[in-house]
Amino acid sequence: MRYSKSRALFIFLAAVPFVLSNGCSLLGRPDRVCFQRRCIDVQVARKEAELRQGLKNRTFLPEDEGMLFIFPETGRNDFWMQDTLIPLDIIWFDEKYDVVYIASSLPPCISSPCPTYGPGESSRYVLEISAGRAERLGIKIGDHAEHQKGRPARFPLAAR
């Protein structure tokens, strides 16, 4: 079947409102953690290997990105910075996504043993973001966050 240029242009223009009205869902959308209207795109760690790996060996983390750790159950979830090459803020949440503790501007661990950080109480979710970002966003203990689940791409994107 052969398409004329005008027919191809019509099909393209007809698809644009559909893609835009669906939030570009054909391209997917990452998960986000939002504090009121201030949101951070997050990679989610749920599986045991992902929870252990975290942000280890990364040399850069964009200001509006982070990693959300979702533990299988509420418990004491302490963190350390071994093999983490960038300074981070770490925020602990209870099962309702209320902030229970914030550790700010944690440095990479350069000597062993590495110190551990944590609230000393139970948490269910933990968010790692760029050092100083929690303060710049005005995040405080007791604040509520919302986890907005993203959408995967509907089709594989071409390799770049």
Domain ranges of the chain: 29-148
Query: How much of the chain exceeds pLDDT 70, in percent?
Result: 78
pLDDT value, residue 4: 58
Summarised one tens digit per residue, pLDDT across range 19-55 is 333 444 445 789 999 999 899 999 999 999 999 999 9
| CATH classification (class only), 29-148 | mainly beta
CB 89, CB 104: distance < 8 Å: yes
pLDDT value, residue 153: 58
pLDDT value, residue 14: 45
* CA–CA gap between residue 49 and residue 135 (Å, rounded): 30
Main-chain phi, psi angles of 16, to 5 degrees: -55, -50
Mean pLDDT, the chain, as a whole number? 84
Tens of pLDDT along the chain (160 residues)? Answer: 555 555 544 444 444 343 333 444 445 789 999 999 899 999 999 999 999 999 999 999 999 999 999 999 999 999 999 999 999 999 999 999 999 999 999 999 988 899 999 999 999 999 999 999 999 999 999 999 999 998 765 555 444 3
Main-chain phi, psi angles of 41, to 5 degrees: -70, 135
CA 41 to chain centre: 5
* CA–CA gap between residue 115 and residue 106 (Å, rounded): 10
Nearest 5 degrees, angle CA 72-CA 153-CA 55? 45
